[in-house]
Structure 1
Amino acid sequence: MDSQPSSTRFVACSASGDIDMFYYDRFREKEEGISNHIVDNGSSVMLSMNPKLYRAVRSGDIELFRRLHLEDMDCADLEQQVPQGNTVLHIAAHSGNDPLVKCILQLCPDLIKSKNTNGNLPLHIAAAAGNLSTVEILVSADQQQSVSLREKDSNHDTALHLALQNRYEEVAFYLFEADQEVTHYMNGFFKSPLHIAAEAGYAELFKRMMEISAGSHDVPDEESKQRIIMAAIHGKNGGVLDVILEKWPSLVTPDNSCQINPLSLAAFTGYLEGVQKILEKSRHLAYLRHENGFFTIHQASKKGHIQIIQELLKHCPDSIELLNSKKQNILHVAAKYGKSKTVRYMLKNPEFEMLINKKDYKGNTPLHLASEKGHPEVVSDYIWDSRVNLQVLNIKGSTALDVVNNSVYPSYRKRLTWLILRYAGAPQGKNASIMKRHSRNYPDLGPYDNRINTFILVAILVATVAFAAGVTAPNNMTSSLVHNAMFHVFVITNTIAMYSSIIVVVALIWSQLSDFHLLRASLQFAVPVLGLALAMMSIAFTAGVFLIVRENAMLSIFVLVFASIGILTMLVLFTPLFLPSSLPHRILRYVFYYPVLLLIKVTR
């Protein structure tokens, strides 16, 4: 069992939405395992029922059931059980066959107290199946109603629990009115019917339960109240939340001792109506810091809930200046977690202008954080704003470009981020420039060997294919092909592919001389040329196949369309390798904006 303190596990589970597992773990710790009510008597023989009796009850054939009873079947025969411990009354209650239920109760009334291997009474089975009329019959037939209504199964669920869990509101309402004391009984997940009614959003039933609770001594403790309001917020049940805020106003007071801030939870889950309702009761919760160091507005920014940010600023305009435990504002948080729509909204709104170049406790601006996490769409939106200062340094003396360059093996999205910053003219920090000029500790060249060998292998394969295609073509050439445009395309692209791949092989041979700068220059030259060779080989193949099937219109169209899609996809993947590393003129940035935007969409 997890050795974490229960309070820490509770907060962690609430943030992840896995509250049920937290309380079930507690239940298992308390009970030391859940009994399945099966006695191990050393026998492998399972319980069984008379086949004719089972078929009669399962099919709901009451006439056959009566005939079997008249033939020679007493109450002891009716007490037979199927392997899961269900009696004939359990089976009839599940199917909702009221005439059969009444008949069984007349013949053997004691079956109403029988339990199956899960500890379920027939009343539990009927409630779980949502059979209201059957539930009414069973409750009326029970001489000790309160006992059956309060009886728990192996998971500590009463009939009311089961009706609510399976979302049968009418059945739940009836069972509640039959015995209101069950309202606060806890099951194995530490959930009471009151809690489950809040989850289900049954506002009328929940309100009625709350009215009964107010007049009794069995009032939920603060932890239970906290779980219930959390259930209402997670389920986005406005009617239930209204009742909670009316009956338990202490949950939203500034001095509440709850581990979870209801306003923060509503903001995190994107429950706008809940945020509005809680703010109307108390705006002070917006200024309470969560254990993760975030205020409510940071939680909304982290998840990209723009409308909730607007609502919070409407009631608490100065919350725009709140900083989390890392001295980060809401723009920092949105940029860090890649919420491009939220960043775009803040950049367009003059109200957030003062946040654009603010630094956190490490001196990072929102642009630094977006660059570090590899969010090219956020960085793209950011650098187009003229108010953004690309030269800002953090405490390490690094610009946003330096932060991206710290990655030894950058991901594709980080590569895009680096390109976007270079296009915008983002500079390197002084420390980075000095280290680049004077450092003698070059990185280990070993990790590059596999990459270079792969490039050489691909280049050789391209050269081999191009050579074979070029040698084979003259043998099959006819006079009509010499003047065909597609044949010209084939010859030109195949020639380019052949010599481009050879050039790549020669260039990469230079990278084997154990010089880091030479290796880097070789790769920067060879990779784009290899991309060109692959593209030309693809076009040459398309042209060759087209020449073969040119007499068949359908096949010709298929080859051209599918080849166009394949070549376009390949170019999209290779575009970052072909584009220039910097665009000093703003006009050129506009020209290359859309190719980069397409790459961002593809890699999102």
Structure 2
Amino acid sequence: MRKTNTKGNTPLHDAVIKGNKELAIFLVSKDPEVAYYNNKNGRSPLYLAVENGNKKEILDDLLKTEASFPIESEDGDALPKGKSPVHAAIEQRNRDMLEKIEKAKPDLLCLTDKELGNSLHYASSRGFQEGVQFLLQKFLNGAYKRNHEGNYPIHLACKNDSVDVVKEFLTITPFPKEFLNKKGQNILHVAAENGNGNVVRYILRQEKTLVEPLLNEMDEDGNTPLHLATNHGHSVAAFVLVRDKRVDSSIVNNENLTPYDIAEKQSKIAVEQYEKTDEMLAEYRKQFDSKNSTPADKNQMITLSILYFHARPKKFLYERFTSTQGKPPRKQETKSRIENLLVVAVLVAGVTFAGAIQMPQLRDKNNKSEHLHELNSTATASRDSTAFDSPTGSSLLDGYLCLDVWALNTSVVAAIILLWTNLNDVKFAPFALWFSSLMVGGSIYMMCLSFFFAVSIALGGSNYGVFAITIIVVGIAFFVAQTLLYIQWILPPSVNQIMEGLVSHYVYYISFFVLVYSWRWLTDKLPDLRRKK
């Protein structure tokens, strides 16, 4: 009866697999304990009966055996340390089978698998809410046992991002601060470390007496939940935590690092990885794997930006003005910048020169009566003539020429300065590059403004009022944007840092919330759209 084949199956295993009910009943009547024996895959006949969906109600017959499961066996292949039929019912997400097994053999709920843990561990890891709810009523002791990784069932629910399952545990076990895994981490640590923002948000919304003992607690490494979320680049979890005023973002871990320090450190690692060649990157990843560390990626940059606005160390105004801007550019980098800026300066000079020699010719033609008929021969020429004849059109033309000449001269001066850097000391190059970039930027700014004047001249005699107004409004909007950008360009870097701290804070908030809530809306609507299809 207990003899096995190459797969480790007894005759009872094969009878259950084939769905032979009569043979299964006969075999289990001769040796009831065989129903609990595992094959090489760790599956007993009871497990296979559940896995097969209780085909022909074989499970009911196997559960009616009077024999209890063996604690030990001569061959050492008994079930107590293997997969339980309860695990199979959980995998099938079948509460009815769980109830059937509990009524017939309640001891089966206590069986533990080395990898899957007990039945509550497995149900929590699978996010099986109904199963967890039932097992908490019938097998509450399982909630207070750790698995081979040192986690309690509630930790696995947090790890799996199962808010409903976490809710079931907090209803039955209202003191989550007592559940610490082998690393000394509470449920908020686990949720933050795995980036499960929904669970983190749910925990933070609980009662004050439940939440406060979890917020700033440190694990064996001195890490708070915010430290762990930051270290693993989980931006949503870090955002939820750092936004909570009860979370202390200035706590240092055993390495004397705050969450913001960790974010800076991981972001630098991400930049270094990006700059490495493929061969060096492969070797670098091996080093990470040997240290059991998680390589930083683009999510680290998002996390750093979040902590930059909420958890960075406060600086005094004097420190902002005297802060350094990093290392000066290298010689080769400076040379490349000069060459690129020289190309832009020459292009701007060429475009403005072409514009400057065309507009006066049109005004000369307009002032000569013999060319009036020629200009009026087409609709476009007629609009140009009307625009030039009026005082407003003449003023617009003067403004255009003034701005165009200004842009031409500043770009030429910038080009001369950039050429001059090749004849002077290398130390002169950074200043020349900075000054020339201001002049080239100003010439581009003036060129765009002169274009706006030219468009106004072209639309001066147009009968399409709505179109003209639209062009002017759009031009004014872009002109204001260009003005703000250019002002920020010419300001010292220290002043830009202050403006960044004041303005970009709100810009970041708006963009972040728009993206997050758009993503949530899409995730809620996609299932509905699929159902309609």
TM-score normalized by the length of structure 2: 0.53
Equivalent of 1:161 in 17, 22, 36? 17
2:64 maps to what in 1?
Answer: 214
Which shifted more, 420-429 or 177-186? 177-186
Does 2:235 align with 1:376?
A: yes
- CA distance in 2 between partners of 1:456 and 1:245 (Å): 78
2:213 alignment partner, SS class: helix
Name the aligned partner's letter for residue 178 of structure 2: E
2:246 alignment partner, SS class: coil
1:275 maps to what in 2?
Answer: 132
Report deviation, 1:287. 0.6
Residues 388 and 225 (structure 1), Cα distance of their counterparts in 2 relative to 1, 3 Å cut: closer
Kept after mapping to 2: 8 A contact 1:399/1:428: no
Residues 598 and 280 (structure 1), Cα distance of their counterparts in 2 relative to 1, 3 Å cut: same
Equivalent of 1:353 in 198, 212, 225? 212
Report deviation, 1:275. 0.2
List aligned pairs for 1:90-489, cutoff 5 A: 161=17, 172=19, 175-177=20-22, 180=25, 189=41, 191=43, 194-200=46-52, 202-203=53-54, 205=55, 207-212=57-62, 214-215=64-65, 221-223=78-80, 226-253=83-110, 256=111, 258-259=113-114, 260-349=117-206, 350=208, 351-407=210-266, 408-410=268-270, 411-427=297-313, 464=343, 468=347, 471=350
Name the aligned partner's letter for residue 333 of structure 1: V
Name the aligned partner's letter for residue 264 of structure 1: H
- CA distance in 2 between partners of 1:177 and 1:270 (Å): 36
Report deviation, 1:252. 3.0
Note the residue ranges of structure 2 that are not aligned, 5 or more in a row. 29-34, 71-77, 271-296, 316-322, 363-383, 388-392, 456-466, 468-473, 479-484, 486-494, 521-533
2:222 alignment partner, SS class: coil
Kept after mapping to 1: 8 A contact 2:81/2:113: no
CA RMSD of aligned residues (A): 5.8
- CA distance in 1 between partners of 2:302 and 2:198 (Å): 19
Which shifted more, 176-185 or 191-200? 176-185
Residues 413 and 591 (structure 1), Cα distance of their counterparts in 2 relative to 1, 3 Å cut: same
Residues 187 and 369 (structure 1), Cα distance of their counterparts in 2 relative to 1, 3 Å cut: closer
Kept after mapping to 2: 8 A contact 1:398/1:428: no
1:592 maps to what in 2?
Answer: 508
- CA distance in 1 between partners of 2:506 and 2:200 (Å): 21
- CA distance in 2 between partners of 1:192 and 1:425 (Å): 54
- CA distance in 1 between partners of 2:341 and 2:126 (Å): 52
Report deviation, 1:358. 1.1
Report deviation, 1:222. 1.7
Kept after mapping to 2: 8 A contact 1:266/1:274: yes
Kept after mapping to 2: 8 A contact 1:286/1:319: no
2:148 alignment partner, SS class: coil
Kept after mapping to 1: 8 A contact 2:43/2:83: no
Residues 465 and 308 (structure 1), Cα distance of their counterparts in 2 relative to 1, 3 Å cut: same
What do the CA deviations read for 1:130-152 (whole angstroms, capped 9, x no partner)? xxxxxxxxxxxxxxxxxxxx79x
Report deviation, 1:278. 0.7
TM-score normalized by the length of structure 1: 0.48
Residues 279 and 179 (structure 1), Cα distance of their counterparts in 2 relative to 1, 3 Å cut: closer
2:175 alignment partner, SS class: helix
What do the CA deviations read for 1:62-113 (whole angstroms, capped 9, x no partner)? xxxxxxxxxxxxxxxxxxxxxxxxxxxxxxxxxxxxxxxxxxxxxxxxxxxx
What do the CA deviations read for 1:211-244 (whole angstroms, capped 9, x no partner)? 2453387979425873432222122122222222
What do the CA deviations read for 1:495-525 (whole angstroms, capped 9, x no partner)? 9xx99x99xx99xx9xxx99xxxxxx99xx9
- CA distance in 1 between partners of 2:179 and 2:505 (Å): 35
Report deviation, 1:190. 5.6
- CA distance in 2 between partners of 1:216 and 1:392 (Å): 59
- CA distance in 2 between partners of 1:305 and 1:457 (Å): 53
Report deviation, 1:371. 1.4
- CA distance in 2 between partners of 1:457 and 1:403 (Å): 34
Kept after mapping to 2: 8 A contact 1:238/1:274: yes
Name the aligned partner's letter for residue 508 of structure 2: F
- CA distance in 1 between partners of 2:103 and 2:231 (Å): 46
Kept after mapping to 2: 8 A contact 1:376/1:600: no
1:130 maps to what in 2?
Answer: none
What do the CA deviations read for 1:128-187 (whole angstroms, capped 9, x no partner)? xxxxxxxxxxxxxxxxxxxxxx79xxxxx958636xxxxxxxxx4xx4347645886987
What do the CA deviations read for 1:423-463 (whole angstroms, capped 9, x no partner)? 2253399xxxxxxx9xxxxx9x9xx98xx979986996687
Name the aligned partner's letter for residue 233 of structure 2: G
Residues 216 and 342 (structure 1), Cα distance of their counterparts in 2 relative to 1, 3 Å cut: closer
Kept after mapping to 1: 8 A contact 2:118/2:147: yes
- CA distance in 2 between partners of 1:181 and 1:581 (Å): 84
Kept after mapping to 2: 8 A contact 1:334/1:343: yes
- CA distance in 2 between partners of 1:299 and 1:582 (Å): 45
Residues 453 and 241 (structure 1), Cα distance of their counterparts in 2 relative to 1, 3 Å cut: farther
- CA distance in 2 between partners of 1:581 and 1:178 (Å): 83
List aligned pairs for 1:482-521, cutoff 5 A: none
Residues 400 and 308 (structure 1), Cα distance of their counterparts in 2 relative to 1, 3 Å cut: same
- CA distance in 2 between partners of 1:356 and 1:197 (Å): 45
Report deviation, 1:418. 2.2
- CA distance in 1 between partners of 2:86 and 2:244 (Å): 42
Residues 402 and 179 (structure 1), Cα distance of their counterparts in 2 relative to 1, 3 Å cut: closer
Report deviation, 1:274. 0.6
Name the aligned partner's letter for residue 155 of structure 2: H
What do the CA deviations read for 1:367-406 (whole angstroms, capped 9, x no partner)? 1111111222222222222212222122222211112222
User: How many positions carry a matched residue from both structures?
Assistant: 372
